Structure 1
Amino acid sequence: MIFDRKNLNSNQLIEFYKKLLWPRLVEEKMLILLRQGRIGKWFSGIGQEAIAIGSTLAMNNDEYILPMHRNLGVFTARDIPLSRLMAQWQGKASGFTKGRDRSFHFGTQEYKIIGMISHLGPQLALADGIALADVLSNRKKATLVFTGEGATSEGDFHEALNIAAVWNLPVIFLIENNGYGLSTPVSEQYNCKYLVDKAIGYGMGGRRIDGNNILEVYHTVSELAASMRENPKPVLLECMTFRMRGHEEASGTKYVPQHLFDTWKEKDPIRNFENYLLSENILRPEWIPQMKKEFFSQIEAEIERVFTEPEIIPDMETEIRDMFKPYSFPTYPLPAAATNMRYIDAISDGLKQSMRKYDNLVIMGQDIAEYGGAFKITQGFVEEFGRQRVRNTPICESGVVGAAMGLAINGHKAVMEMQFADFATVGFNQIVNNLAKTHYRWEQAVDVVIRMPAGAGTGAGPFHSQTNEAWFTKTPGLKVVYPAFPADAKGLLMAAIDDPNPVMYFEHKYLYRSTSGDVPGGDYYVEIGKAKVIKEGTAASIITYGLGVHWAIEYAAKYPELSVEIIDLRSLQPWDKEAVEASAKKTGRALVLQEDTLTSGFGGEIAAHLAEHCFKYLDAPVMRCASLDTAIPMNKALEEQFLAKARLAETMEKLLNY
């Protein structure tokens, strides 16, 4: 192994050695604790320390790094106290996630480190968003994100690299190629000679280096980061190394041929660097045991102190409260005079007003720039706000959701247009596991709104007509809104953008151009979580949302002799339990109407709540009216049969005659 110190002085080299030695000794202690049964799990990075240490030291302290679970050196090189890390690993209250997540599944703005989640790959797109925020703010910074060779097979890898290349983002995508993804060798993982060869397909630069040579890692990352700070563009960096222990300790290493261990043992990053420093008379032999003794003593003291910390006492209210960043609906001045406009124009107006109010707001989506989006909601936005803030995206929903989250992490607001709500499936993991859980895990606000054009009525068939709100209402950490009228469409959108938490904003495509109403001008906000009484009544309550509100109004107009009360939920998570209960108690009969399919739809939650909390006030069972438990057909007659509206009158008659 050949070391080139370049411009590093002897004191810096000794500091590098200390930084390299510290996580190795910590890991050796953790393996002892594991054998003693004092800890339950450990992902070892022994043999790979040079990558984490060298690359971290090459980055500026105010630049973000997104490591993996085998990168202890990233955290220690940023000088996070071992006691704090140990508290995290042990699930103590003083850890970064208050016992809510494991190992390195956390982030910290203080140290500019954003940890991974268990799903491989999503962190790569977050790096795109973080870097984009720096570019938009004219900050000359680079972002470093780690992945393993196994995760390069994930779609998230492709999407993140493609976005970074198309947008010229200053991201170093670092692949730790350690030979195995759990037990799967690289020969079964990819068929190219080197992973760095993939760089040319994205139109980005690529480097392949010895990941066990700390100076080669340091100088390479230093050079790449310095270049992209001045001339933003991404780079793929493949660092060759080897995993000397199992994927995690319980998995063992029997599947690895012994000759690989023998070969890579000779390439140990610490021993080789140590020998280099000794040969250059930079490090004296007698210093090494003294360093280790001091480190061992410090490690022992910090770890044992954490073991004595009290266990967490569960508090239900705290756990529920911490799912979201605290947010109080503010008092705004009275809105300007109202103008009659269509539902679609109200959405556009709310988005435009928010873009004017928040200069850190970025909207992203397929074809939303000059083309104006599939439904023309953002038509004219480029002319007013520019292409930097109104961004066409490649067709890669997961990558764009991740980029939106990265923007939020780095001080921006983001609105992503999902071209059709149906396509959220392609970004599902980022939504339900990253956006939704982040604040609960490490108190990071995720200021992202995802617009979801949803619903049937246009003969668009199974893949462009679903109303899939129930996929998200069951996910803690997401707010879900679903306006039925133009004024609410604007007010809820502006409220969602103002709210620092992730919001799924459902907008019904059928209502875009078929529904008009008076919409207040200027800034206008409708509080999330508040229902609205559309029509007073005494005989029965119809509790609904979205297109269902219009079905209910049409039904009430057709049967004026029936005193039907109509409740428009407007928000599904949180939803207005008090308003719904009050209506059910008042009328004694409740029908929950939803466009979604019957089984496991959100209406079932409302029906269950009323049965549990309002049973003694009801004169009939709570009934549901929903669409058929089939996919949505394209043919108009079949679609009309499918939709809940076809059975509304029949279900209401049954309810009223019970």
Structure 2
Amino acid sequence: MIEYNKKGLNKETLIDLYKSMLKPRLIEEKMLILLRQGKISKWFSGIGQEAISVGVTKAMLDDEYILPMHRNLGVFTTRKIPLFRLFSQWQGKANGFTKGRDRSFHFGTQDFKIVGMISHLGPQLGVADGIALASKLKDKNQVTAVFTGEGGTSEGDFHEALNVASVWQLPVLFCVENNGYGLSTPTSEQYNCKDIADRALGYGMESHIIDGNNILEVYTKVNDLAKSVRKNPRPILLEFKTFRMRGHEEASGTKYVPQDLMDAWAKKDPLENFQAFLKNEGIIDEAQEVAIKEDIVQEINEHLQQAFDEAIITPSESEELNDVYQNYTYQEVSPNDTTEELRLIDAISQGLKQSMERHDDLIIMGQDVAEYGGVFKITDGFVEQFGRDRVRNTPICESAIVEAGMGLSIAGMKSVVEMQFADFVTSGFNPVVNYLAKSHYRWSQNADVVLRMPCGAGVAAGPFHSQTNEAWFTKTPGLKVVYPAFPYDAKGLLATAINDPNPVLFFEHKALYRSIRQDVPTAYFTLPLGKASLLREGHDITIIAYGAAVHWALNTLDKHPDIHADVIDLRSLQPLDTEAIYTSAQKTGKVIILQEDSLFGGIASDISALIMENCFEHLDAPVKRVASLETPIPFINQLEDQYLSRDKFEGELLNLLAY
């Protein structure tokens, strides 16, 4: 059924390709038995698609990254990952790659330059962009290969990743395994073009259609393209025509597939056809075939027994908590004595510029951040100093750019991504909370990414440019959240956020950008995350706030010099300085928390609960939360003033003092 062209490949290469396809097939057949025996919990079969995984991987160099999917077992075996580690992974053992925290192929390994998928499929495409960008910036002449299925091409991440790769001419091979069905949905209900490869035209991108069941066509074609891309960096869309011979996962079955279609594709089995070809060509005989299978089966059984003999994981709460973030030892750089008066916006710009000077591997990405300097002009002049390679305008594609930041981190680089407005992070929410936040916990890969988040109301910007949405992220383990209120803090905390190898969301209140001034050290310095600032001291009451709300609280106290309050500026919301909070609450006995965000589900609620649980016996009154209305943020000044918690604070403060 399959026509093979050896194209000068020698006997050793042909046999190696055969062995490389046979190994994942035999492993799968064993796994299906174990699944029926209840010894593994789930299996996503790639039977019938081995030629794609093996051919692509064989065409790649060992130091080039591959981002596979859950039907690409051949990628992992061809990269020669010890089988017992794969078996341990699937059994949730410690010798796996995720310490029992994730299953299947949801893992990566720097040792083998493989970055596994997450269930949301699409984000890995943008991650490949980031890895390829790092390769291009470092002149490594490397290719990155990333897999998706025909169903995944319907996701927005696919469009964004291909668009970015084309605009930036990134050396990425986008490998689409078109296997006929996305779970039970056929291709006729997935897209309305003849071939997925046709989409490349819209991205100004080269594309090729390859018989995904022909190992020689896959290997030789991808090998030629990879060599070309190493010399001439550019993205290429590859559509591999193949078929999924088993269910989406084994429990799904294949009843929705017409039998004649199954029979037709069974005749195109990549392994059986290639095996017959090798025999007909006299390259192997039956005795060699049996010997090869016996060797692989023996290896499988030995490694499987090793995994079975491995002890089950003993849960450790401390280990689980310690692995959420990459360990980071804060290094203090003390401020110099020379200061200048800066606005908040100037301090952020200066701090970012000095970090760029300090870290040669730091990349800034965002809409209009290059020559235009960003909508708030924070990166104005950066292109002239650092060049367009390091200060990169992006298309309007928040998801792909967050993912590219993750890819840069995998490749050992740092990035600062500017969300033009914090509200727009919703367009990149998935990679923030599911990729950046979870990667270190899942497979010890940090996300060295800072997201700058211009936020907040008070500037008549309306519902889509005014949110202060920090609570979305303080809720997500694996993220750090910083929210300064003063220029000094903003500069020092931004430097630390960039130094920290973990993902940090850095909130910058737009209404404070040009309204708050302070003397700030001129040289580079750092401040620790998770350390609140005690702005004023008193015994009457504790006021806790952050961002613009800090200034609202201070202004209120200026009107009431008789109130002697502890004023705590949190500065960092995750990690949170609970010691400062508890110490003050126990001292004053009354606590009021002021936030700009609406009340329900805001961080003030959690701080209140923490105080009630840890300081209850010291309290003389209930903890009071003051927050904005439970509505979207309105545009016109009269409505915005009514919305904000700013003008409510004074009355609530006086009521609590009188309790």
TM-score interval, smaller chain: over 0.9
CA distance in 2, matches of 1:639, 1:560: 28
Please give the secondary structure, in 2, of the residue aligned with 1:614: helix
CA distance in 2, matches of 1:494, 1:347: 9
CA distance in 2, matches of 1:539, 1:294: 79
- Matching of residues 591-630 of structure 1 within 5 Å: 591-630=592-631
CA distance in 2, matches of 1:333, 1:454: 29
Deviation at residue 236 of structure 1 after TM alignment:
0.2
- Map of 1:190 onto structure 2: 191
Q: State the one-letter code of the partner of 1:171.
A: V
CA distance in 2, matches of 1:19, 1:648: 69
CA distance in 1, matches of 2:546, 2:476: 19
Work out whether 1:347 is the aligned partner of 2:354.
Answer: no
Please give the secondary structure, in 2, of the residue aligned with 1:377: coil
CA distance in 2, matches of 1:328, 1:222: 43
TM-score norm. by structure 2 comes to 0.99
- Map of 1:171 onto structure 2: 172
CA distance in 2, matches of 1:393, 1:372: 13
- Map of 1:11 onto structure 2: 12
- Map of 1:541 onto structure 2: 542
- Matching of residues 404-423 of structure 1 within 5 Å: 404-423=405-424
- Map of 2:150 onto structure 1: 149
- Map of 1:425 onto structure 2: 426
- Map of 1:70 onto structure 2: 71
| Preserved CA contact (<8 Å) 2:245 2:262 | yes
Deviation at residue 279 of structure 1 after TM alignment:
1.3
CA distance in 2, matches of 1:404, 1:387: 16
CA distance in 1, matches of 2:68, 2:58: 14
- Map of 2:400 onto structure 1: 399
Deviation at residue 411 of structure 1 after TM alignment:
1.0
Work out whether 1:303 is the aligned partner of 2:304.
Answer: yes
- Map of 2:85 onto structure 1: 84
TM-score norm. by structure 1 comes to 0.99
- Map of 2:239 onto structure 1: 238
Deviations along 1:252-274, one digit per CA (max 9) or x if unpaired, are: 00000001111001100001111
Please give the secondary structure, in 2, of the residue aligned with 1:293: helix
- Map of 1:43 onto structure 2: 44
CA distance in 2, matches of 1:331, 1:431: 28
CA distance in 1, matches of 2:632, 2:118: 32
- Map of 1:528 onto structure 2: 529
Work out whether 1:511 is the aligned partner of 2:512.
Answer: yes
CA distance in 2, matches of 1:298, 1:527: 51
Please give the secondary structure, in 1, of the residue aligned with 2:239: strand
CA distance in 2, matches of 1:593, 1:312: 44
- Map of 1:497 onto structure 2: 498
Deviation at residue 332 of structure 1 after TM alignment:
2.3
- Map of 1:651 onto structure 2: 652
- Map of 2:292 onto structure 1: 291
Please give the secondary structure, in 2, of the residue aligned with 1:110: helix
- Matching of residues 524-603 of structure 1 within 5 Å: 524-603=525-604
Deviation at residue 520 of structure 1 after TM alignment:
1.2
Work out whether 1:312 is the aligned partner of 2:313.
Answer: yes
| Preserved CA contact (<8 Å) 2:354 2:524 | yes
CA RMSD of aligned residues (A): 0.7
CA distance in 2, matches of 1:563, 1:602: 25
- Structure 1 stretch 328-337 or stretch 257-266: which is displaced more? 328-337
Q: State the one-letter code of the partner of 2:195.
A: Y
Work out whether 1:380 is the aligned partner of 2:374.
Answer: no
- Map of 1:224 onto structure 2: 225
CA distance in 1, matches of 2:336, 2:423: 34
Deviations along 1:584-635, one digit per CA (max 9) or x if unpaired, are: 1111100011000000001101000000000011111000000011110001
Q: State the one-letter code of the partner of 2:17.
A: F
- Map of 2:116 onto structure 1: 115
Q: Percent identity, please.
A: 61
Q: State the one-letter code of the partner of 2:227.
A: A
CA distance in 1, matches of 2:371, 2:337: 29
Please give the secondary structure, in 2, of the residue aligned with 1:286: helix
- Map of 2:268 onto structure 1: 267
Deviations along 1:343-398, one digit per CA (max 9) or x if unpaired, are: 00000001000000000000000000000001000000000000000000000000
- Map of 1:477 onto structure 2: 478
Work out whether 1:330 is the aligned partner of 2:331.
Answer: yes
Please give the secondary structure, in 2, of the residue aligned with 1:218: helix
- Map of 1:99 onto structure 2: 100
CA distance in 2, matches of 1:227, 1:37: 47
Deviations along 1:516-549, one digit per CA (max 9) or x if unpaired, are: 1011122111100000001111100110100010
CA distance in 2, matches of 1:333, 1:121: 43
CA distance in 2, matches of 1:487, 1:231: 46
Please give the secondary structure, in 1, of the residue aligned with 2:311: coil
Deviation at residue 653 of structure 1 after TM alignment:
1.3
- Matching of residues 47-58 of structure 1 within 5 Å: 47-58=48-59
Deviation at residue 335 of structure 1 after TM alignment:
2.9
- Map of 1:2 onto structure 2: 3
Q: State the one-letter code of the partner of 1:147.
A: T
CA distance in 2, matches of 1:334, 1:253: 66
Please give the secondary structure, in 2, of the residue aligned with 1:244: coil
CA distance in 2, matches of 1:223, 1:193: 25
Please give the secondary structure, in 1, of the residue aligned with 2:111: coil
Deviation at residue 333 of structure 1 after TM alignment:
4.5
Deviation at residue 336 of structure 1 after TM alignment:
5.1
Q: How many residue pairs are counted as aligned between the two chains? A: 658
CA distance in 2, matches of 1:523, 1:599: 39
Q: State the one-letter code of the partner of 1:407.
A: L
- List gaps (5 residues or longer) in structure 1: none
Q: State the one-letter code of the partner of 2:554.
A: I
CA distance in 2, matches of 1:552, 1:274: 77
- List gaps (5 residues or longer) in structure 2: none
